[in-house]
Chain A
Amino acid sequence: MSETPMIRTVDLAQHFPIRKGLPGRPGAVVRAIDGVSIDIPRRQVVGLVGESGSGKSTFGRAVMALDPPTSGRVEFDGTDLSQLSRAALAPYRRRMQMVFQDPFSSLNPRMSVAETLGMPLRFREGGAGRSERRDRAAEMLEMVGLPRSYLDRFPHEFSGGQRQRIGIARALMTSPDFLMADEVVSALDVSVQAQVLNLFARLQREMELTMLFITHDLAVVGHVSDIVAVMYLGRIVEIAPTRALFSGPRHPYTEALLSAAPSPVPGGARKRIILEGDVPSPVNPPSGCPFRTRCPYAIAACAEDRPALAAVGPDHRSACIRTDLDLMPATGRRTEAALEGSPG
């Protein structure tokens, strides 16, 4: 028997009404996430990758129980969060924290670092005293590689990378078990991005954190994650251990994403799949497989039923009826170049 996952979502859906319906006629809804069932095992990092509008941030918010789901549920450590009252949810909130893309807009410009970091502890049962909060804040600053002397400074005095570290320190104040990171390195320069990714890796190891790491960047997701889930139009289309997903994608959308991501590795010829058009509207998604309108391998049957996420290998699931395809791995370009270079 495997242990209870830290997070389990069961058929989780989040629909947002955008137009009121007339009596007898339903209004339009955006199906931001539409039936997502995944597990985030303890002490593992699950990377969620998708393009804008895929629903990945909505999924993150739903997992954090920030918005009540339209249907389905989120279980945290075996407890169904949707059944809990606000008060009953509070102890769970302390165990789950989040970090955002733009650290500047998520830090209060009028609060010193010490106040910002102390905030999550102020409303704790009993409430931590001022000096206790300050000590803990100093400890967390050092944990994220910033000097204690920053406690009395304000957000505008810091660079983007430093602000992101402060955002991470704030998330760690309550010693959470689970951390949700939404596009946390997207706004950073590459050299700073590397520092922050290394920091996440170290914290995850040292504090035995379970993480949901949301990003649009495939190379980043491949670097930080144990398991990668690919989202398209509010649905998971493929999920697998990182190596398996990158070396043997089984969904055409994953293949297209991997081939579209530019790589600085020099290496001769590259086969690139260029998808046509944009992601369809989640108000009126295509029938059957949501990806079929852009899929180079679509056949008539793809329009019929919505493909289920089915096992295609060990811990590897894909939602595609074309199980006959031999898709190109992320490393395929290199292999191809090597083959072309060899004489036989």
Chain B
Amino acid sequence: MTERLRVQDLSVHFRSERREVQVVHDLSFTLEAGRTLALVGESGSGKSVTSLALMGLLPPPPQSRTTGSALLEGRDGADLLGIPESRRRRLRGDRIAMIFQEPLTSLNPVHSVGAQLVEAIRSHRSVSRRAAWDRAEELLDEVGIPEPAARLASFPHELSGGMRQRVMIAIALALEPDVLIADEPTTALDVTVQAQILDLLRRVQERTGMAMLFITHDFGVVADIAHRTVVMYAGRMVEAGPTEDILRRPLMPYTSGLMASVPLLETAGTGRSELATIDGFVPDPAAPPAGCAFHPRCAHNRPGRCDVPPIAVEAPAPDRSIRCARWRELAEEVR
């Protein structure tokens, strides 16, 4: 497998009222060509901050501080976290692109779709306006927008939510990036449109071989699109591995708890059984619990084991990682 992006020990601190709060802790993962990695978690897990840090879109120091490395492989490879903003700006859009949950806030309301695509192309490539315009039409066609030539003249407000997200994807794909970061790109869309967009991303990936980092809270979407999954809690990786393995046999109580709390289509109408719940709340990042950040909410919490730092990351299988002091015994219990 060809590596596209290797993230090592990524940490992000925010500064609030003269205090530094760490919101992402030593996160490491690798994105491979033609593969999708999902970052899964609830609000406050640090998944979106991770994507913004990689894109260099967090506020500059001292408001935020990012450490670690993110090595972009291939031609003019670089550490995204270690290069000056001017150089990062050249890579952003070209080698690494991003799409967001709400396309309307990412698109410029006063410029036509065509103008925004042409700008994206011409800011990185020295091609004529004419050639860029032709490429823009091609791109709209590729992302499944009907009558692409006519749509180039449309403004964002004239398009439906699904069409806007397609335009965002077209802009992100304009320069055939090696890495695409997708932050909840289908969360605001209807299910039938979500299915279209997931299908589109998959087809583009098959064709171009881009690596994708897919950020979501939805295990259904994870099952659908991701080859590998990293589950995050309170800014830390708590479990990682091949998606199918994690869905079949989650080892971390947080992962299994989250999965059990989702109602399933498969059991609809079979009586209103109680959904499993996770009591309590995500911890305040300014005052994280000692040891495992999940222990105050965990049904398997053992004082003296789970609330004592540090909880090491272990490898239950060659391609899996887990951060849980009791994973071994819990796995035995299940068996």
Q: What is A's interface to B at a CB cutoff of 8 Å?
A: 51-52, 159, 189-191, 193-195, 197-198, 201, 216, 218-225, 228, 241-247, 256-266, 272, 274-279, 330-331, 334
Residues of chain A within 8 A (CB-CB) of B221 are: 262
- Evaluate contact between A260 and B258: CB separation under 8 angstroms: no
- From B27-35, B78-86, B102-110, B271-279, give the one contacting chain A: B271-279
B residues near A334, Cβ cutoff 8 Å: 266
Residues in B neighbouring A246, C-beta threshold 8 A: 265, 268-269
For B270, the chain A residues whose CB sits under 8 A away are 243
Any chain A CB within 8 A of the CB of B315?
no
Q: Which of A51, A191, A245 contacts B277 (CB 8 A)?
A: A191
Are A190's CB and B191's CB within 8 A?
A: no
Q: Is the CB of A262 within 8 A of B220?
A: yes
- With both beta carbons as reference points, the residue of chain B lying nearest to A241 in the complex is identified as B269
CA distance A275 to B197 in the complex (A): 11
From B244, B268, B278, give the contact of A222 (CB < 8 A): B268
Name the distance in Å between B324's Cβ and chain A's nearest Cβ.
17
Collect the chain B residues with CB atoms within 8 Å of residue A278's CB: 160, 162-163, 193
Across-interface contacts of A264 in B (CB, < 8 A):
219-220, 222-223, 247, 259, 262, 264
Instruction: Give 5 A-B contacts (CB < 8 Å), ordered by A residue.
Output: A191-B42, A197-B275, A216-B190, A257-B191, A272-B199
> A260 contacts which chain B residues (CB < 8 A)?
191-192, 194-195
Residue A263 contacts which of B146, B220, B258, B269 (CB distance < 8 angstroms)? B220
Can you list the 9 inter-chain pairs with the closest CB atoms, starting with the nearest? A222-B268, A242-B269, A262-B220, A243-B269, A194-B261, A223-B263, A264-B219, A51-B190, A260-B195
What is the total number of residues of chain B having a CB less than 8 Å from a CB of chain A?
Answer: 47
Please name all residues of chain B whose beta carbon is closer than 8 Å to the beta carbon of A245 when the two chains form the complex. Answer: 269
Question: For window 137-164 of chain B, which residues contact chain A by CB distance below 8 Å?
Answer: 146, 160-163
Within 8 A of A (CB), among B192-251: 192-196, 198-199, 217-224, 244, 247-248
Complex CA gap A166/B278 in Å reads: 19
Q: How far is the CB of A184 from chain B (nearest CB, A)?
A: 14
Which one, B42, B43, B198, B262, contacts A219 given CB within 8 A?
B262
The answer to whether A263 and B264 have CB atoms under 8 Å apart is yes
Query: In the complex, A123→B219 CA distance in Å?
Result: 46
Answer whether residue B257 sits at the interface, using C-beta atoms and an 8 A cutoff: yes
Pick the contact of A331: B194, B262, B266, B272 (CB < 8 A): B266
**Among B43, B195, B218: residue with most chain A CB under 10 A:** B195
Contact A223:B194 (CB < 8 A) given known A190-B262, A241-B269, A263-B266: no
CB nearest neighbor in A for B194:
A260
The residue among A256, A262, A276, A277 with the most chain B CB atoms within 10 A of its own CB is: A262
Task: Evaluate contact between A242 and B261: CB separation under 8 angstroms.
Answer: no
CA distance A198 to B269 in the complex (A): 15
Which residues of B sit under 8 angstroms from A247, Cβ to Cβ?
A: 269
Residues on the B chain within 8 Å of A194, using CB: 261-263, 275-278
Given contacts A190-B218, A261-B191, A262-B198, 19 further A-B contacts (CB under 8 A): A51-B190, A190-B42, A190-B217, A191-B258, A197-B275, A216-B190, A216-B191, A219-B264, A224-B272, A244-B269, A247-B269, A258-B265, A260-B192, A260-B194, A263-B264, A263-B265, A266-B248, A272-B199, A275-B195
A211 CB → nearest B CB, Å: 12
- Judge whether B191 and A51 touch: CB under 8 Å: yes
